[in-house]
């Protein structure tokens, strides 16, 4: 990511060259950046020695999962599709946890047959269903129960999951009842308490509250959980101002928690591993004068990258080539889709751009491609992985034929 020259490069590869060779839009990931992030994550949590299960929904590219598996991570999956993909990518079943409020009979049946580490149940009905299927298969199934700790994660409302009004997990009273129920079951082996309070959490305080709640509840249940699955949600820097969750502080809090609870810790990070590693390269189709601003109409749109439209998320946009020109403009970066929410960013003080110039939307590694769709019957874009000197196509651009 050194960019001393005026041409933006991703690990030494000029964005302009990539665009010329592969056309645009392109999702481009840096393996180096993923490794740096992961090593930093591991280093900060070293004393806790957690099992790290990568959240597949943040980025489900097959090749990326393979690389992530090679780096020793397990997987957190939320559908049978993700489960099959994780297994096919070489991730071991005993390092896979299955989350989600609506697992179907088919999904539970498959997960049991594959002997994954944990099915984290989120309701009484689900536990009964798991028990029924386990009985039918004549098996004892490892489960977790997801607690809704009623904590405000102080993040965007749309990605908050741990408040009592949210659909995720079960509230304290139900939790205790379900622990007692599971203890007596012949086909359930309750091994884990799981929580996940939200995403893009920048402050350790919600985590601190969460750990306090866990401590109290564990005491009340009087049960030894072999695993405590703390979920993911660690927030990253989207503004290039070094404001991200202080993992060291979080680690310190968990270490303190572990004095009373000897359970093994599981994490399910997605964004904090892969978010900063992705770049969306896009070309300007047209520039159109608007009211007090100009519209930069890109060849990438909300179907390719949905976070701004879905969550009002802000992502930095940078030009692929810096120019000497001192003129500064007010631009709104938009896609070609027939929706007013199809816009990425409005910004003052941008260098003057021209039609056919390339721009880069930053930090799109998580919830980028995995949230993309064919809306407006637009083909899915290509994904590239930069692996040192190698540029690898890790998913092909869909063609018109693929769509029609």
Ligand X SMILES: *Cc1c(COP(=O)(O)O)cnc(C)c1O
Please give the positions annotated as active site: 338
Tell me whether residue 105 or residue 156 sits nearer to ligand X (CB atom).
156
Tell me whether residue 50 or residue 231 sits nearer to ligand X (CB atom).
231
Tell me whether residue 8 or residue 238 sits nearer to ligand X (CB atom).
238
- Shortest distance, CB of residue 96 to ligand X, whole angstroms? 13
3-state secondary structure of 314: coil
Q: Which two tokens stand for residue 292?
A: 């007090």
Tell me whether residue 233 or residue 278 sits nearer to ligand X (CB atom).
233
Contact (CB, 8 A) for 208 and 149:
no
Q: Which residues are 328's β-sheet partners?
A: 351
Q: What is the spatial distance between Cα 98 and Cα 108, in angstroms, rounded to a whole number?
A: 9
Q: What is the spatial distance between Cα 333 and Cα 330, in angstroms, rounded to a whole number?
A: 10
Instruction: Let me know if 208 is exposed, middle or buried by CB neighbors in 10 A (0-12, 13-18, 19+).
Output: middle
CA nearest neighbour of 273 among 74, 70, 39, 91: 39
- Shortest distance, CB of residue 324 to ligand X, whole angstroms? 39
Q: What is the spatial distance between Cα 336 and Cα 282, in angstroms, rounded to a whole number?
A: 12
Residue closest to ligand X when measured from CB atoms:
232
Contact (CB, 8 A) for 218 and 171:
no
- Shortest distance, CB of residue 214 to ligand X, whole angstroms? 15
Contact footprint for ligand X (CB under 6 A): 55, 57-58, 76, 99, 196, 199, 231-234, 268-272, 366
- Shortest distance, CB of residue 401 to ligand X, whole angstroms? 33
Q: Which two tokens stand for residue 384?
A: 């590239």
């Amino acid at each position: 990511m050194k960019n001393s020259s005026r041409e933006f490069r991703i690990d030494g590869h000029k964005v302009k060259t990539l665009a010329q060779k592969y056309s645009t839009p392109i999702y481009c990931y840096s393996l180096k950046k993923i490794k740096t992030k992961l090593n930093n994550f591991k280093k900060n949590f070293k004393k806790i020695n957690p099992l790290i299960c990568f959240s597949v929904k943040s980025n489900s590219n097959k090749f990326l999962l393979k690389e992530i598996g090679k780096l020793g991570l397990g997987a957190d999956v939320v559908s049978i599709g993700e489960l099959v993909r994780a297994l096919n990518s070489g991730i071991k079943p005993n390092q896979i946890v299955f989350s989600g409020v609506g697992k179907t009979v088919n999904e539970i049946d498959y997960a049991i047959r594959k002997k994954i580490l944990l099915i984290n149940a989120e309701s009484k009905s689900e536990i009964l269903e798991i028990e029924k299927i386990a009985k039918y298969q004549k098996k004892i199934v490892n489960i977790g129960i997801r607690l809704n700790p009623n904590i405000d994660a102080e993040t965007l409302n749309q990605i908050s999951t741990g408040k009592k009004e949210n659909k995720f997990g079960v509230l304290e009273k139900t939790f205790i009842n379900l622990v007692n129920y599971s203890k007596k079951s012949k086909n359930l082996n309750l091994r884990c308490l799981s929580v996940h309070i939200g995403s893009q959490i920048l402050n350790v305080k919600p985590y601190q509250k969460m750990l306090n709640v866990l401590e109290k509840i564990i005491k009340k249940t009087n049960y030894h959980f072999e695993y405590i699955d703390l979920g993911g949600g660690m927030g990253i820097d989207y503004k290039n101002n070094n404001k991200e969750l202080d993992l060291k502080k979080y680690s310190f809090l968990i270490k303190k928690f572990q004095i009373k609870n000897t359970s093994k810790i599981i994490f399910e990070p997605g964004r904090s591993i892969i978010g900063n590693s992705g770049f969306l390269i896009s070309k300007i189709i047209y520039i159109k004068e608007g009211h007090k601003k100009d519209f930069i109409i890109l060849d990438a749109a909300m179907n390719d990258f949905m976070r701004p439209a879905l969550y009002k998320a802000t992502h930095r946009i940078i030009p692929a080539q810096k120019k000497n020109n001192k003129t500064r403009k007010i631009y709104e970066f938009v896609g070609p889709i027939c929706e007013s929410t199809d816009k990425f960013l409005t910004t003052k003080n941008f260098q003057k751009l021209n039609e056919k110039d390339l721009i880069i939307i930053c930090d799109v590694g998580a919830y980028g491609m995995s949230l993309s769709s064919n809306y407006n019957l637009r083909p899915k874009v290509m994904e590239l992985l930069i692996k040192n000197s190698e540029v690898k196509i890790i998913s092909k651009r869909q063609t018109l034929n693929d769509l029609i």
